[in-house]
Amino acid sequence: MCIRDSVLLEGKKIDSYSPLERALRIQPVFQDPYSTLNPNHTIGFIVRRPLLLNTSLPYDEIETKVAKTLDLVGLSKNFINRFPSQLSGGQRQRVAIARAIILEPKILICDEPTSSLDVTIQSQILDLLNELKERLKITIVLISHNISVVKFLSDRVLVMNNGEILESGNTLNIINKPKNNYTQKLMSAIFTVKKKVTSLADMKGLRVFGVPTAGKFLSRYGLIPVIVPWDDVETAMQTGELDGVCWCGFTEAYEVGWADICKYALTNSVTGAWFGSYFANQKSWDKLSPKLQALYRMSINDSHYYRQVWYWGGEADLRVNGKKMELTSLPANEWSQVVKDSEQFWDETSKISPRAKKVVDAFKLYAATMEKAGYPYR
């Protein structure tokens, strides 16, 4: 709470607390996990140190608390004797978070806690902070310029510029209906207008997410395939890590929010075939009773039916009535070349393994059947 330039904590001005009292109530998590951990100290000492400096707990209780705190942030006791140089960026940030929460503070101040991390790791750290917020009933004060991070982690937002609070309120209200001009510009920068693709030449240099097979095929046209966890795709597009997504349908784009970021949809498609796979560990499968195995197979069948209704049922409607993306397509002569290239690509892919050949043959049969059936199937 802020009144007349004073910050109140538990009804008292924050500067009325002693350094020890503040340390027990407020702890920081800094931006760069590579520079905030002393390289000469073990992980155990780094996490243990706040307790040694600020409490009089017996050593055995401290060691127990260190182990439990590391476990809270997803690190085992095996990390206690390691040094920061032996850890990845994500693991170092987990150590920094453990060091901050071991005193059980009421407030965690996180200054750009994911900006120095790869997109893949950002999501893991954000999930961890969100989990700790709920589990420990702790308040997180987040300092960030990344709106997608703010949206994910925050309930309330204060937009500041040059030390001045421009507006504040519920996170979604501020993001969706900003009132201040500065805030409006800030929010408009979230969703970069992606490059309009109307020719194969337009694809060159675009960083796209998709299944590995699609990425391998599209790379021949200059696209750069990027693999990130599916949950990170939206954040990666917002931050410029990705320019778009390949091999996704309209329903998927609208459902998960990609259509809010990508302003264009390339409608060309080699085939409408889709194969869904379900996997089970053989030993675990053998332990199931016949009834549970039958139930699992029934669930698979229901899932396929649901996908047919949900996915394909919405495709045509969103293609015609969806307002979020402008539809584009490649010239007929260029697309004809892509189709020919895909046939050669599938022949190459089928040689990888007997399983690959089985899948490719199924695709070929589907495509040939649709082509022969003609309109309205092709």
What DSSP assignment string belongs to 311-371? IIHHHHHHHHH--SSEEE---HHHHHHHHHHHHHHHHHHTTS-HHHHHHHHHHHHHHHHHH
- 83 and 171 in a common domain: no
> 56 lies in a domain?
yes
- 215 and 179 in a common domain: no
pTM: 0.52
Q: What is the pLDDT of residue 2?
A: 44
* Distance of alpha carbon 27 from alpha carbon 110, whole angstroms: 9
- 134 and 234 in a common domain: no
* Distance of alpha carbon 88 from alpha carbon 34, whole angstroms: 9
CATH number, residue 29? 3.40.50.300
Q: What is the pLDDT of residue 62?
A: 95
Q: What is the pLDDT of residue 1?
A: 42
Is the CB of residue 112 less than 8 Å from the CB of residue 31? yes
Name the domain count of the chain.
3
Buried b (16+ CB within 10 A) or exposed e, 128-144: bbeebeeeeebebebeb
288 secondary structure, DSSP code: S
> 361 lies in a domain?
no
- 137 and 27 in a common domain: yes
Q: What is the pLDDT of residue 193?
A: 32
* Distance of alpha carbon 221 from alpha carbon 206, whole angstroms: 10
List the Cα angle 210/214/220 in 5-degree steps.
Answer: 120
- 282 and 186 in a common domain: no
> 128 lies in a domain?
yes
- 62 and 182 in a common domain: no
Computed over its alpha carbons, how large is the radius of gyration of the chain? 26
- 95 and 174 in a common domain: no
Task: Work out the number of other CB atoms within 10 angstroms of the CB of residue 83.
Answer: 16
Q: What is the pLDDT of residue 66?
A: 96
Q: Which residues of the chain carry a pLDDT beneath 70?
A: 1-6, 118-120, 185-194, 239, 270-277, 305-314, 375-378
CATH number, residue 321? 3.40.190.170
> pLDDT for 180-190, tens place per residue?
877 776 665 44
Q: What is the pLDDT of residue 98?
A: 96
- 241 and 171 in a common domain: no
> 316 lies in a domain?
yes
* Residue numbers of the domain that contains 173: 159-190
- 45 and 137 in a common domain: yes
Is the CB of residue 185 less than 8 Å from the CB of residue 276? no
> 178 lies in a domain?
yes
> 319 lies in a domain?
yes
Q: What is the pLDDT of residue 189?
A: 46
Contacts of residue 103, defined as CB under 8 A and 6 or more positions apart, other chains included, come to: 23, 24, 27, 50, 51, 54, 55
> 229 lies in a domain?
yes
> 3 lies in a domain?
no
- 231 and 122 in a common domain: no
Is the CB of residue 208 less than 8 Å from the CB of residue 223? yes
* Distance of alpha carbon 91 from alpha carbon 79, whole angstroms: 10
- 30 and 111 in a common domain: yes
Please give the torsion angle defined by the CA atoms of residues 356, 357, 363 and 368, in that order, rounded to the nearest 10 degrees: 170
Return the sign of the alpha-carbon dihedral for residues 353, 356, 358, 361. Answer: negative
- 322 and 216 in a common domain: yes
